[in-house]
Amino acid sequence: MNKNGLFDVGGEKNLIKVKDEANVRIVVCGVGGAGGNTISRLVEELKDSSENVKYVAVNTDIQALSNCKAMHKIQIGKELLKGKGSGDDPEMGMKAADENINDVMAALSKSDMIFFVAGFGKGTGTGALPYIVEKVKSEDPDKLVVCVITTPFYFEGRRKIKLAKQRIDELKEFADAVIVISNQKLAELYGDLNIKEGFKKSDELLSGAIKGLIKIIKCEGEMNVDFNDVKTVLKNSGSAIMGIGRAKGQNRAQEALRNAIENKLISEEISLEEATKAIIFISGKDVKVSEMGMIGNELSERLHDDPSIITGFYEVDMDEDLIEVVVYIGGFLSHNPIKKEEKIRAKSKPIELRMEIDSDGNENKSEVKEDYDEPAFKRRNGGNLDDFFGKIN
């Protein structure tokens, strides 16, 4: 997005006008090393972005944090870890977040939507992010929270892969939508890249998932998609899929859509036939009504019966006859966790009755309450983090 209020979709000619969404406050928060790298990429690519997008980096590693280009940087675990990182230990990541949770919550306040981004499988992101998300949603259940997560390469070991899956499941209980990108599938598609280029490609995918949704919310076109449209599709969605497809030529619309939805980097085994909601964001030059209809009809046929599809269109002087389709898909039936509003809104609620017999043989009943100020994985293990993290080994 440049100083004239235009969003760059690929070169000086390919600019989209930005609409005034002064009342939509977006925070993009990177947690851990991968999250910080993504923030730096977004800040660099969207140098002149709207003042209503705030970039926050959270990390235990003071050196990595100092190199991040975020405008707001928060060191967690200052006393516990002394700025030296979490040592690849998610328990330390969670404890670090807990130590400085007030600083984190202050940076995330005054927002309508938060993107969280992290790599799962190691220490800081894996340990801190689910804890932070649960705190955010407990404080403000109406805030839209979308998480974009990468999972480990196979060469990083089975323990990291298993840990990442566990914590993603934990995250879905509170985040509205979780988009998972598989680094291993990235390696399979781009096997000729060296390690540095591979991790750079992973950062590009993370930033692309976030940038695409910011573009949908911020850009003004012939058919606008507003913040409440995004909320309709992603609120309480659980799992979500994001894809970007580009094509040109006679069958450009069909090819662009297929490139977007046949995403080979999605980590989870999710069937599009279970999806009930979607947003389509189309941009291009001289896009025909028949092309719009083809995109909408084919996507509808791929999803669950009678899906809710919201469409945005932006006329752009794209290079040659290029068309771009950005798709966010949510509302997966088998991956949509039960969202109990009272669970998030109430600090505690009764979950069972405890029967006790006193010394005189009298029966006494008492309610056992669950404290929702504690993160879910701590509650399930009686507050014993060692028990929880021990199960992963």
**3-class secondary structure, 195:** helix
Residue type, position 357, single letter: I
Structure tokens at 117: 């981004």
What's the pLDDT score for residue 338?
Answer: 56
HSE-up of residue 361 (Cα within 13 Å, Cβ side): 0
Q: Name the helix (H) or strand (E) containing 73.
A: strand 72-75
Task: Please enumerate in sequence order all residues whose Cβ is within 8 A of that of 56, keeping only pairs 6 or more positions apart, or say none.
Answer: 27, 28, 29, 30, 39, 70, 71, 72, 73, 74, 107, 108
Residue with tokens 């689910």: 130
**3-class secondary structure, 270:** coil
Q: Along the 393 residues of the chain, how does pLDDT read in single tens digits?
A: 444 343 444 444 444 445 555 578 999 999 999 999 999 988 888 765 555 689 999 999 999 999 999 999 999 999 999 999 999 999 999 999 999 999 999 999 989 999 999 999 999 999 999 999 999 999 999 999 999 999 998 889 999 999 999 999 999 999 999 999 888 888 888 778 787 787 777 777 778 888 888 888 877 778 888 899 999 999 998 889 988 899 998 899 999 999 998 876 665 567 888 899 999 999 888 899 999 999 999 999 999 998 999 999 988 776 778 899 999 999 888 765 555 444 555 443 444 445 555 566 565 655 454 454 455 555 555 555 555 455 555
The burial class, CB within 10 Å (0-12 / 13-18 / 19+), for 6 is middle
What's the pLDDT score for residue 314?
Answer: 86
119 beta partners? 150
Structure tokens at 57: 């980096």
Top-tier CATH class for 6-232 = alpha beta
Question: Residue 10 in contact with residue 319, Cβ under 8 Å?
Answer: yes
Domain ranges of the chain: 6-232, 346-390
Residue 250: phi, psi to the nearest 5? -60, -40
What's the pLDDT score for residue 141?
Answer: 92
